[in-house]
Amino acid sequence: MIVEYLLVFLGAAIPWFEIALVIPFGIITGLNPVIVIGVAFIGNMVTILALIIGFDKFKDWFSKKEKKNSKREERARTMWNKYGLPGMVMLGPIFIGSHIAAFIGMLLGATKQKTLVWSTISIGVWSLVFGIFTALGFDLFVR
């Protein structure tokens, strides 16, 4: 059983899998929803924290890469212009991924501290939403 929770942790830590996929999948497979939500939150936050701490080195590496604007980057810039850091990071897990939202937020001038605070709030809220809705949804089918 520990292996399954380790997979939830690793899945949540990987950009593009993240909490939106990992939490519902973990709950659907029969794992404890409360533990899945907690483990996925921690897994996602570990890599967000690493990204924030290592942002300067990552930014240097990223700037050397060939630049082409992806659809995710364009959506992130639109969200930034419309909603600022709080809105972009809160909407990030749904539209562009929490890692990309945090990274682009810092690229556009957000501080590491504000990015960490808003990322924590966002991942916490979305972990609860995905977990509760998935657990309730499947409880409704069982009855």
Average confidence score pLDDT of the chain:
87
Does the pLDDT value for residue 107 go beyond 90?
Answer: no
Does the pLDDT value for residue 72 go beyond 50?
Answer: yes
Name residue 36's amino acid: V
Question: Which of 67 and 105 is assigned the larger pLDDT?
Answer: 105
Does the pLDDT value for residue 141 go beyond 50?
Answer: no
Q: What is the pLDDT of residue 82?
A: 86
H, E, C per residue of the chain: CHHHHHHHHHHHHCCCCHHHHHHHHHHHCCCCHHHHHHHHHHHHHHHHHHHHHCHHHHHHHHHHCCCCCCHHHHHHHHHHHHHHHHHHHHHHHHHCCHHHHHHHHHHCCCCHHHHHHHHHHHHHHHHHHHHHHHHHHHHHHHC
User: pTM, whole model, 2 decimals?
Assistant: 0.82
Structure token pair of residue 47: 């890599």
Does the pLDDT value for residue 139 go beyond 70?
Answer: no
Question: Which of 68 and 23 is assigned the larger pLDDT?
Answer: 23
Contact 134, 32 (CB under 8 A): no
Q: What is the pLDDT of residue 32?
A: 95
Question: Which of 74 and 102 is assigned the larger pLDDT?
Answer: 102
Q: What is the pLDDT of residue 137?
A: 85
Does the pLDDT value for residue 143 go beyond 60?
Answer: no
Q: What is the pLDDT of residue 66?
A: 55
Q: What is the pLDDT of residue 69?
A: 66
